[in-house]
């Protein structure tokens, strides 16, 4: 086996230099922890950028993948498949009854691309309204709906007819909508933008505005879906149903998958050959997704996320609110953020040395997306480490 530094060097040499890498080589993961090549264990609040809803290598997901790999791994959309059929039924059963058709892909950005195409095709209109501070992915369509200049400017011109409205501001949305607006796209809780939680009437107001103006509502639950915020889907907190729903990240227990769900009349506007994905709906990912969704439902992970999220937030507030460098602590379920008055990278690195991995949003926000199976004992350790480094 090579040494830590040799793996680091190989990645430096051969991989596109697009990630700000932490200096460790992760080789194993179990539950809410990962292990590096030297055997050191970390509590994982990065959670694969929110992917590890059921934890790392959940035994039920591992078993489903192993069994399916022995049966068949690849089966394109032009052929029917048993495992895919069962997953499609499951996805429709766990989402609001209006969302009864599914397109399967391989990532969050693809789930959003499909939603954009659907909105334009179904309405015959061009304009998409996204939210300031929103994030929807890195391919050209979803990037066009993404707010941050750093992500967008190097790749301009992006897709035309994308506009931005202020998050939590219905007046701004009303002004942005025109006769040519096909859809509004919104993350129910903004993730990349820093765990921004909507004010109570906002999403309901967005729904009502869309209905009044005859505009589709796309909800991007790529990061918030599957129990992350304490409900199976975040829109359930505010009792709002989208016309098109984008899912990915935790959907398949860590195996790449995206899904776009829509009302039948909307999905049916895409005709044969107008959209497709080579890997989309492959049986391996479908088997993993079915197993992961069963774990999420059977182990009541959304309820656990709600209770443990409240505990986590309260502990963070108790332990950190006195800190002179903390600006704000916020969260919903197990989607949490500690916003600092200073840059956070130093504290993220110090926490890593003490055995806790944190994600960031921008330069000043420490973000936490731990597996929903994290224990209270692990939460306590995370809080203690953070309190220690921020002291
Ligand atoms: C809300 C949201 N939408 C879309 C994406 C893009 O997902 P992916 O990286 O799987 O393409 C992300 C990724 O972080 C996200 O948080």
Whether residues 331 and 219 share a domain: the answer is no
* Segment 29-74, tens digit of pLDDT: 999 999 999 999 999 999 999 999 999 999 999 999 999 999 999 9
Task: State whether the beta carbon of 191 lies less than 6 angstroms from ligand 1.
Answer: yes
Task: State whether the beta carbon of 148 lies less than 6 angstroms from ligand 1.
Answer: no
Of all protein residues, the one whose alpha carbon is nearest to atom 16 of ligand 1 is 223
Last residue of a domain, one of 235, 268, 298: 298
Task: Answer for the pair 224, 213: CB distance below 8 angstroms, yes or no.
Answer: no
Whether residues 80 and 226 share a domain: the answer is yes
What is the Å distance from ligand 1's center to 278 Cα?
20
Query: What's the mean pLDDT when you consider all of the chain?
Result: 97
Share of the chain above pLDDT 70, in %: 100
Share of the chain above pLDDT 90, in %: 97
What is the Å distance from ligand 1's center to 270 Cα?
23
Task: State whether the beta carbon of 248 lies less than 6 angstroms from ligand 1.
Answer: yes
Mean pLDDT score, 253-258: 98
Q: Is the pLDDT of residue 3 over 90?
A: no
Model pLDDT, residue 313: 98
What is the Å distance from ligand 1's center to 22 Cα?
20
Whether residues 269 and 353 share a domain: the answer is no
Give me the CATH number covering residue 380: 3.90.1150.10
What is the Å distance from ligand 1's center to 164 Cα?
18
Whether residues 231 and 319 share a domain: the answer is no
Model pLDDT, residue 257: 98
Selection from 155, 117, 158, 151 nearest residue 134 by Cα? 151
Residue 361: count other Cβ atoms within 10 Å of its Cβ: 20
Total-model pTM: 0.98
> 104: domain range?
59-298
Model pLDDT, residue 105: 98
Task: Answer for the pair 180, 161: CB distance below 8 angstroms, yes or no.
Answer: yes
Model pLDDT, residue 322: 84
- 3-state secondary structure at position 260: strand
In ligand 1, which atom is closest to the CA atom of 249? 10
Task: State whether the beta carbon of 116 lies less than 6 angstroms from ligand 1.
Answer: no
More confident residue, 4 or 95: 95
Task: State whether the beta carbon of 135 lies less than 6 angstroms from ligand 1.
Answer: yes
Q: Is the pLDDT of residue 1 over 80?
A: no
Gap between the Cα atoms of 253 and 264, Å rounded: 27
* Segment 373-382, tens digit of pLDDT: 999 999 999 9
Whether residues 294 and 304 share a domain: the answer is no
Where are any strands of DSSP class E within the chain? 26-30, 33-36, 41-44, 101-105, 127-131, 162-165, 181-186, 216-220, 244-247, 258-262, 326-332, 335-340, 356-357, 359-361, 365-368
Give me the CATH number covering residue 288: 3.40.640.10
Selection from 217, 274, 273, 210 nearest residue 241 by Cα? 217
Last residue of a domain, one of 298, 314, 337: 298
Mean pLDDT score, 135-159: 98
Whether residues 63 and 46 share a domain: the answer is no
Gap between the Cα atoms of 46 and 53, Å rounded: 11
Number of domains in the chain: 2
pLDDT band at 342 (very low <50, low <70, confident <90, very high): very high
What is the Å distance from ligand 1's center to 388 Cα?
31
Whether residues 32 and 170 share a domain: the answer is no
What is the Å distance from ligand 1's center to 137 Cα?
5
In ligand 1, which atom is closest to the CA atom of 223? 16
Gap between the Cα atoms of 189 and 222, Å rounded: 10
Task: State whether the beta carbon of 202 lies less than 6 angstroms from ligand 1.
Answer: no
Of all protein residues, the one whose alpha carbon is nearest to atom 13 of ligand 1 is 137
More confident residue, 3 or 141: 141
Whether residues 9 and 123 share a domain: the answer is no
Whether residues 49 and 88 share a domain: the answer is no
Selection from 166, 178, 232, 231 nearest residue 205 by Cα? 166
Whether residues 217 and 157 share a domain: the answer is yes
Model pLDDT, residue 10: 95
Task: State whether the beta carbon of 165 lies less than 6 angstroms from ligand 1.
Answer: no
Of all protein residues, the one whose alpha carbon is nearest to atom 8 of ligand 1 is 108
Whether residues 307 and 287 share a domain: the answer is no
Task: State whether the beta carbon of 49 lies less than 6 angstroms from ligand 1.
Answer: yes
Q: Which of 3-7, 32-36, 149-153, 245-249 is predicted with the least confidence, judged by mean pLDDT?
A: 3-7
Whether residues 271 and 217 share a domain: the answer is yes
Model pLDDT, residue 70: 98
pLDDT band at 280 (very low <50, low <70, confident <90, very high): very high
**Ligand 1 pocket mutation pick from 51, 144, 223 by most atoms within 8 angstroms of CB:** 223
Task: State whether the beta carbon of 223 lies less than 6 angstroms from ligand 1.
Answer: yes
Model pLDDT, residue 297: 98
* Segment 113-133, tens digit of pLDDT: 999 999 999 999 999 999 999
| DSSP element (H, E) containing 206 | helix 202-213
Gap between the Cα atoms of 387 and 360, Å rounded: 17
């Amino acid at each position: 086996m090579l040494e830590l530094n040799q793996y680091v060097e190989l990645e430096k040499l051969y991989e596109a230099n697009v990630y700000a890498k932490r200096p460790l080589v992760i080789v194993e993961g179990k539950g809410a922890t990962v292990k590096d090549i030297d055997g050191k264990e970390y509590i994982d609040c990065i959670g694969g950028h929110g992917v590890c809803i059921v934890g790392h290598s959940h035994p039920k997901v591992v078993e489903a993948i192993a069994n399916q790999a022995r049966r068949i791994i690849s089966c394109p959309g032009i052929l029917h498949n048993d495992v895919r059929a069962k997953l499609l039924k499951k996805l429709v059963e766990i989402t609001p009854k209006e969302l009864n058709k599914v397109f399967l892909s391989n990532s969050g950005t693809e789930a959003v691309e499909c939603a954009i195409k659907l909105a334009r095709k179904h309405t015959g209109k061009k304009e998409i309204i996204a939210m300031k501070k929103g994030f929807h992915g890195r391919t050209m369509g979803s990037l066009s709906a993404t707010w941050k200049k750093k992500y967008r400017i190097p790749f301009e011109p992006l897709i035309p007819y994308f506009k931005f409205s202020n998050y939590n501001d219905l007046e701004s949305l009303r002004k942005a909508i025109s006769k040519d607006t096909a859809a509004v796209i919104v993350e129910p809780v903004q993730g990349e933008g820093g765990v921004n939680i909507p004010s109570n009437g906002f999403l309901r107001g967005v729904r009502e505005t869309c209905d009044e103006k005859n505009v589709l509502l796309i909800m991007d639950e790529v990061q918030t879906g599957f129990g992350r915020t304490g409900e199976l889907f975040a829109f359930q907190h505010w009792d709002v149903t989208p016309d098109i729903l984008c899912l990915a990240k935790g959907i398949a227990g860590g195996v790449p998958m995206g899904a776009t769900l829509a009302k039948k009349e909307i999905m049916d506007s895409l005709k044969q050959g107008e959209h497709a994905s080579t890997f989309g709906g492959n049986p391996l990912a479908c088997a993993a997704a079915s197993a992961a969704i069963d774990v999420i439902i059977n182990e009541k992970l959304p309820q656990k996320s709600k209770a443990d999220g409240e505990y986590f937030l309260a502990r963070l507030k108790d332990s950190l609110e006195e800190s002179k460098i903390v600006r704000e602590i916020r969260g919903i379920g197990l989607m949490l953020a500690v916003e600092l008055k200073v840059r956070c990278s130093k504290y993220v690195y110090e926490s890593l040395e003490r055995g806790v991995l944190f994600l960031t949003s921008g330069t000043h926000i420490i973000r936490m997306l731990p597996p929903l199976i994290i224990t209270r004992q692990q939460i306590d350790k995370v809080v203690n480490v953070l309190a220690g480094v921020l002291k």
